[in-house]
Amino acid sequence: MFPTHMSMIHEAMAGAHWAANVIHPKTYGLICLTSPEMQLSCNEVVKVMDASGAKLVKRADVAISEPSMSSYVLAMRAANPEHIIHYVINPATMAKFMVEAAQQGYYPPKGISGNHLAAEVLGSLFGQWPTGRYWTDTTYKLWGTEFMDVMDKYSRANRGINHHIVQASYVGALLFAQAGKAVGPNLTRQRMMAEWGNGTVWTSDASLDQRFQYVASERTGNNWQTNYGQGREFMYKYNSTNTVANPDGSPNGFIPDPDQYVIYTSK
């Protein structure tokens, strides 16, 4: 097992820096899953945003199985943040929030941003209400010619429902094959771990534009590389309810954020 996706805590740092750099909210709200990793992620958002001078006016800690987000919409309306940031992993949670926000006629004036919503089905879940006012950060560029060609050849059932975790799985398969070829026929866990950890910079295909390294500094501490997968991601703006990829593998319904497309965990 080896990571092919930025850690959630680092995603929260990168997303918060983007919000501070681009949105410049005076006040903000947080929607956080109650899982330990998401709580740690939201804590990092608070550190970055508070350092920027923004004030947290409402933090909503939600369970993964919330049947309704209506009460949290009401709570955000009452707190009136300029911007809302979410780290919840579960797309259904934010889909419920968006639907119920539309029903209540509510949306923060400077929009909503967060992670784990880079998915071809997003438009069918979110609908028209958040278009032009929602952003999601993701480890890989959307969607990639080679990636989509592989999906069309080997996983046609995924057509129209691919998402960023499928991209991560695809890259994981590529990197596993590259390491296996380097190790040779005596394929053991120890030899594979040694190969991944030898300082090689492992790359996705060019269209996904991501790199990983598995040395200790990339796995622990605060000395990770700015331009590898634990330090650098991409921010997309939701601008159409049709989020199914174009035939050439380019994104539809998502555009690179025009103010800061490449985002970083440290700045």
> Tens digit of pLDDT for each residue in 186-237?
999 999 999 999 999 999 989 999 999 998 888 777 889 999 999 999 999 9
259, 22 Cβ separation under 8 angstroms: yes
Q: How far apart (Å, rounded) are the C-alpha atoms in residues 32 and 14?
A: 16
Q: What is the DSSP letter of 219?
A: H
How many angstroms from the chain centroid is the CA of residue 194? 29
pLDDT > 70 fraction of the chain, expressed in percent and rounded = 100
**DSSP H helices in 80-188:** 91-104, 122-126, 145-154, 164-183
> Tens digit of pLDDT for each residue in 46-62?
999 999 999 999 999 99
Q: Can you tell me whether residue 129 is helix, strand or coil?
A: coil
For the segment 89-116, the average pLDDT, to the nearest whole number, is 95
Instruction: Quote helix, strand, coil % in the chain, to nearest 5.
Output: 40, 20, 40
Pairing between β-strand 262-264 and β-strand 202-203 as defined by DSSP bridges: unpaired
pTM, full prediction: 0.95
Positions of CATH 3.40.50.2300 in the chain: 8-140+233-264
Fold that domain 8-140+233-264 belongs to in CATH: Rossmann fold (3.40.50)
